[in-house]
Structure 1
């Protein structure tokens, strides 16, 4: 730092402090500093929470969903699924293509009754398509045939809690996709007893309160389907973000008779709403930083008015317009940089505390997750810091130019 800049910084520091009888200026300086700090802190925390919500939902959705699904219209059955799976597996980027059975059923036990989505899980596949299937195949969740001889069923924690079901209990399953005709001509669902072999908790409210897993064979039996008939092919990709490209390639290969959907398409409304909310929150909270910038402007304008005589004396002693300009730019920049630095530190600290100690709990039936997730990205923090510093710097330009254009004689005479 050269001598001229050191002197400019010395003056800027003096002007940041209140002189005797001018305590109001010091108070306004602290208000401006606090405004920048609060704005940056709020921005970092909210953007981290919104990003965390998106990533947490994505992770939990994919724990029980395929990257891409291949289904048919009409009766929703795919006979001879092995050929379709083999064709899907030849598409670039596809890691595995496995069959699945999905049916809307009703679970009943005594006075309790709950609707559920029954998923038939294939056994012995080289590469399971979802995280839940991988955990089942690895033995983390038990779907082995129990000693009772009944088919096994794995229930979401919400279903199990609502129906007071525990491991080893028996539950009746009503299959509405397989209606039976009685002697009097009425239609009733097929009823099959299952034994609960486990309860899972994914953290995804929709899965925990509606999802039930059993073996592929048990599902085919309760629906009276052949061994080569399934409701869809689940495709797992090497890169889940490439689902749209893979879906387009699958549609072209399989033809119009098959309906190909990605996990993003199935949840597009949810993620579009989250993106829009994230943008809206950024714009709303950035207004706090803009208000702080106006406070910086008002602070510098009042300093210029209060120090008019001193500015005139400095210019009459040979200080240049550029030197005066630097003094006030440094003063405003100090407020912006220090406020941004403190706000960044507080924002990062709050994010760490919220994430580590799960301070804020939220209703999962509304937000799909049971706690406030936080994901802090360096690029998000850098963008907020850069925007805050730039706004603070721009706020110094007008009052600094006003100060530099004061004429020494007029400044001293007006005082």
Structure 2
């Protein structure tokens, strides 16, 4: 193929004077290559950083509250939880729903922890043996996770670093707690573990304890709890599974005539604002991608025009030898494709290197009080990077189609004399 052959010759000789072939303008080639490389590197870094941040923060939200909750509707408008029956029949019914990965009971009780130096309002969250504690285990900073139970209690708790700092508590300390209903109840717990997720929405007050202890404080039956936490195999199934569960158990009542409500993390006032903020990041990434692709396209357009003008004599000779305008256009489009390919290669190398550097060294740190993480997390998604490369190549090549028609306006007689 003559067009491809000529393009290869132009590309190989673009950085040197050999064989009498006129050297192309080095600044034009470098600017075009750099424009593609920088644009693609920025896009790769943006996608990996934003995806990583979204995955990390949404994972923390799901780890604390799960994707979907089945609770008593009155619990939404009250600081105290209302009990519902969460027996094996209900749990098995929910587990059979496609997309559901696990179902876990939990009980809650508002209270106050008091030491000699200070006090703090807490949300005592009781869990049982079936509760998946891998999330909390990942963020433990000291101590250990006890074996939580729904049939007995050792009065052992896991508190956050925020609560520990405020009350000056450490692992092994004992703390008195107080609960208010018709009478004031007191209970002493032993701190056996401390966690830190940097999510102030939870770290400020959530304390993990035995479900049995919380049910005793609430004076609930063993079959009752605050509700069920349902975790899904994929966040993408959230709306579909919530709809199915709402029809299956939503609005139904237990034997105490208490109804069930099915809520997702999107309905939770504590987490909905954070999720909305995470979704807004997608718009920011799209803006960055559009800007970078436009920059790369404009850079290549200007580079192609310069290359055509640099090769005016060559174009005149080719036309004098019988080459058609389309063949010459294809030659320069292939030439541009080689330059784009070189720029994309460097862009991928730079972008992926930055991502890997951050992944293993955490060189970019963040304020956890604002961003919920101490460093910028990354999510290296090969498929997204491949798609990004394909889109970049297609858009930049399409942007060069119209400028390539400049060759049809070059007259052979004048071009051969052009210097």
Indicate the TM-score class for this superposition, using the shorter chain for normalisation: 0.7 to 0.9
Q: Secondary structure at the match of 2:394?
A: helix
Q: Quote how far apart the aligned CAs of 1:305 are.
A: 3.0
Q: Secondary structure at the match of 2:297?
A: helix
Counterpart for residue 281 of structure 1 = 285
CA distance in 1, matches of 2:132, 2:368: 26
1:96–1:128 Cα contact (<8 Å) kept: no
Q: 1:305 to 1:84 in 2, by over 3 A?
A: same
Counterpart for residue 201 of structure 1 = 196
Could you tell me which runs of 5 or more consecutive residues in structure 1 were left unpaired when the two chains were aligned. Answer: 181-188
1:88–1:250 Cα contact (<8 Å) kept: no
TM-score, normalisation: structure 2: 0.82
- Of 115, 118, 126, which residue of structure 2 is paired with 1:120? 126
Counterpart for residue 72 of structure 1 = 72
Is residue 2:356 matched to residue 1:352? yes
1:156–1:212 Cα contact (<8 Å) kept: yes
TM-score, normalisation: structure 1: 0.83
Q: 1:179 to 1:46 in 2, by over 3 A?
A: farther
CA-to-aligned-CA distance 1:387-413 (integer Å, 9 cap, x gap):
221232123323322114422124346
Could you tell me which runs of 5 or more consecutive residues in structure 2 were left unpaired when the two chains were aligned. Answer: 76-80, 252-258
Aligned length: 395
Equivalences for residues 89-168 of structure 1 within 5 A: 89=94, 91-93=96-98, 94=100, 96-123=102-129, 127-128=130-131, 131=134, 141-142=145-146, 151-168=155-172
Q: Quote how far apart the aligned CAs of 1:46 are.
A: 0.9
Q: Quote how far apart the aligned CAs of 1:219 are.
A: 1.5
Is residue 2:206 matched to residue 1:214? no
Q: Quote how far apart the aligned CAs of 1:43 are.
A: 0.5
Equivalences for residues 2-401 of structure 1 within 5 A: 2=1, 5-14=4-13, 25-74=25-74, 76-82=81-87, 85-86=90-91, 88-89=93-94, 91-93=96-98, 94=100, 96-123=102-129, 127-128=130-131, 131=134, 141-142=145-146, 151-176=155-180, 178-180=181-183, 189-202=184-197, 204-237=199-232, 241-256=236-251, 257-266=259-268, 267-401=271-405
1:118–1:211 Cα contact (<8 Å) kept: yes
Q: Quote how far apart the aligned CAs of 1:53 are.
A: 1.3
Alignment root-mean-square deviation, CA = 3.3
CA distance in 1, matches of 2:290, 2:334: 23
Q: Quote how far apart the aligned CAs of 1:260 are.
A: 0.7
Counterpart for residue 184 of structure 1 = none
